[in-house]
Amino acid sequence: MSDLLQYWEVIRSYLAGIILLCGGVIVFIGASGVLRLPDFYTRLHAAGVTDTLGTLLVLLGLIILSGFTLLSAKLALVGLFLLLTSPAATHAVANAAHIAGLKPRLGTIKSETSQEQNGDKA
């Protein structure tokens, strides 16, 4: 029985580490999307979706690491709060930008190298 408990602890630690790593990677991808995307609305979408998913994965990894304790219940409540408020906050910011008259960028964006190759003068 003791060996089974030790194996479970090792499996739980590795599983939590993998989930924490996935959450961190998703948050990093969202941050790079905020830097790379062309306009406010696409940046907001990248930040809103990846921030929520990445943070929930990080919280899930921490819940797995903490076991069945009061801390895991508090982390679950934080995750539930984040799940309910993050999409609403993202929508509120996008709605405020729309009301302020911020227009989305339409069409595709050509890079400078593709314009030079095609002979276009910008």
Quote the number of domains for the chain.
1
Q: What is the rounded average pLDDT of the residues 22-39?
A: 93
The residue that leads in pLDDT, 1 or 53, is 53
| pLDDT of 81 over the 80 cut | yes
Give the range of the structural domain holding residue 23, as residue numbers without chain letter. Answer: 2-118
The Cα-based distances of 43 to 23, 31, 81, 93 in angstroms read 19, 9, 23, 12
pTM of the model: 0.79
| pLDDT of 114 over the 80 cut | no
Instruction: Work out the burial of residue 65: count CB atoms within 10 Å of its CB; fewer than 13 is exposed, 13-18 middle, 19 or more buried.
Output: middle
Determine the pLDDT at residue 35. Answer: 92
What dihedral angle (degrees, nearest 10) is formed by the CA atoms of 6, 79, 48, 30? Answer: -20
The rounded percent of the chain whose pLDDT value lies above 70 is: 87
| pLDDT of 20 over the 80 cut | yes
H or E element in which residue 116 lies: helix 112-118
Closest CA to 44 of 84, 85, 93: 93
Determine the pLDDT at residue 3. Answer: 85
Report residue 26 CA to chain centroid gap.
5
The rounded percent of the chain whose pLDDT value lies above 90 is: 71
Dist CA 7 CA 92 (whole Å)? 47
